[in-house]
Amino acid sequence: GAGVSQSPRYKVAKRGQDVALRCDPISGHVSLFWYQQALGQGPEFLTYFQNEAQLDKSGLPSDRFFAERPEGSVSTLKIQRTQQEDSAVYLCASSLVEASYSNQPQHFGDGTRLSIL
Amino acid sequence: KQEVTQIPAALSVPEGENLVLNCSFTDSAIYNLQWFRQDPGKGLTSLLLIQSSQREQTSGRLNASLDKSSGRSTLYIAASQPGDSATYLCAVTPRGAGSYQLTFGKGTKLSVIP
């Protein structure tokens, strides 16, 4: 389809393992966002890309979290040395234009549900 | 720090009723406010976006209002249907730096009973 695609849909990892979550934004969308949604909570902002440039990573909870978008399309969120508190749904969103001072809506994928045992 | 509160946390209504969902935010310096719908195991679908200079937006049976000075928004759903059952999330973006950062409430879980 033409929406934001995330993979895998579910990921189970043991504490201490590294994981990588993928996001394919809507084709041609300039802006890409990652959010973390804990159970029963609203999503929380993690990071923002404009094309390949990571302009804001203020929401990343620790230096174990790393995101990249090397060619300005697909993005990967990597979590190193996972811990139980990393268990959450990770949502990716994209929007058509540069996001600052824009009233374009963000289009969300279905997320990756990460469970750390 | 901006805080967004949604009341009630859950709501159950019979089919056909009109209903109102409430959202409040602590910092009135917002750029826009959005209402989203989230179905179980799914991502968010944007329903309505109200710019800070606007008072309301309408789409079909949905009407959202914004009173920025009092830090409140309401989402009105007319003639509710079972297909409206979902969690509804309100989110605001700040005026100034980071105007793309959505700050969400915890949502209102709506059940429409046939």
The answer, for A106 touching chain B at a CB cutoff of 8 Å, is yes
Ranges of chain B whose pLDDT falls below 50? none
B31 touches A: beta carbon within 8 Å = yes
Q: Do B98 and A40 touch (CB under 8 A)?
A: no
Q: What is the per-residue pLDDT across A8-42, written as a single tens digit (0 to 9) for each?
A: 999 999 999 999 999 999 999 999 999 999 999 99
How far are the Cα atoms of A102, B2, B8 from residue A107, in angstroms, in the given order? 14, 22, 26
Distance in angstroms between the alpha carbons of the first and the last residue of chain B: 41
Tens of pLDDT along A50-66? 999 999 999 999 999 99
Tell me the Ramachandran region of residue A81: left when phi exceeds 0, alpha when psi lies from -120 to 50, beta otherwise: left
pLDDT band at A97 (very low <50, low <70, confident <90, very high): confident
Q: Is the peptide bond before A25 cis (omega within 30 degrees of 0)?
A: no
Predicted confidence at residue A1, as pLDDT, reads 53
Q: Which of A31, A41, A103 to mutate to test the interface with B (most CBs of B within 10 A)?
A: A103
The predicted structure's pLDDT at residue B99 = 82
DSSP B52-64: TT-SEEEETTEEE
Q: Does the distance separating the beta carbons of A42 and B89 come in below 8 Å? A: yes
Share above pLDDT 90 across residues of chain A, in percent, rounded to a whole number: 88
What is the structure's pLDDT at A61? 94
Q: For chain A, say whether B12 makes contact (Cβ under 8 Å).
A: no
Q: Are B43 and A40 an interchain contact pair (Cβ–Cβ within 8 Å)?
A: no
**The pLDDT of residue A6 is above 80:** yes
Average pLDDT, chain A: 94
pLDDT given for residue A104 in this prediction: 79
β-strand A31-37 against B44-51: which pairing, if any?
A: unpaired
